[in-house]
Amino acid sequence: MSAGYALIGGGAGQLGTAVADRLLRAGRKVVVLDLAGPALPGVEFHETDLADETATGERVRLLLDRLGAPEVLVLCQGWSPKGPDGEPVAEAEVSAALFRQVIDVNLTSCFLLTRTIVPAMAAAGRGRVVLVGSTAADTGRTTAGAAYAAAKAGLAALTRLFAVRYGRDGVLVNTVAPGKIANPGWAGSGASTAAYVADIPLGRLADKDEVAEVVTFLVSDRNTYLTGQTVIVDGGRLA
């Protein structure tokens, strides 16, 4: 893997940390933008509200001025509001303000980064981008809320648009869409998790490292021809 730096949005979460760890071990400098600092040593961290246009724009400008365009951009940030029982907030209870907030965190934040960084990558003649989506964008049989599903579907559209517009400039753009990832801190109920797992041919939730492995391939030098695609990592649930 070449030595250009990687920028990871939402890189303090469990999937972002797993991706950062792989990229560090492959020899890349890793810069993380997130609301909370990562436990992972060795990364350059900047506390940033990625849904805030002013804060994100200023942070990106400073990074581009100091380091130039990254060779790798991975956007893992995401949020799906839950009720007290750990289940998604019912659509009838989702206000317009909450809907917009979910869209801002999951979709607008990714646009704010890609609209500046992808052209900078193109000017440098090289780039690999992965937006972390969700299988919630591909099926109505989801345990996520409507706003989250809509936002993740929007990421797939952004992926196709940027892949087509910047492919001839050496920038490859893909979405990785995992199903549920096992998380000890996840507040979902045992019953809903069991029902979800029952639909998975492999009989279990994904491990964060399994998803991170796919992301790492897509942003590596080994990926020379795959772009504009959504790669589903769900143990066969949507098959």
Q: What is the pLDDT of residue 86?
A: 73
Alpha-carbon span 124 to 185, nearest angstrom: 40
Alpha helix (H) residue ranges in the chain: 14-25, 53-67, 96-103, 109-124, 146-166, 190-198, 208-218
Q: Which residues of the chain have pLDDT under 50?
A: 1
Domain extents for the chain? Answer: 6-233
Q: What is the pLDDT of residue 191?
A: 72
Q: What is the pLDDT of residue 187?
A: 54
Domain 6-233 has CATH 3.40.50.720: yes
Q: What is the pLDDT of residue 184?
A: 77
Q: What is the pLDDT of residue 190?
A: 65
Q: What is the pLDDT of residue 185?
A: 67
Q: What is the pLDDT of residue 186?
A: 61
Alpha-carbon span 123 to 129, nearest angstrom: 15
| Catalytic residue list | 148
Task: Give, in order, the Cα–Cα distances in Å from 222 to each of 6, 15, 29, 172.
Answer: 16, 21, 18, 12
Q: What is the pLDDT of residue 90?
A: 83
In degrees, rounded to 5, the angle at the alpha carbon of residue 210 between the alpha carbons of residues 208 and 212 is 70
> Residue written as tokens 């980064």?
113
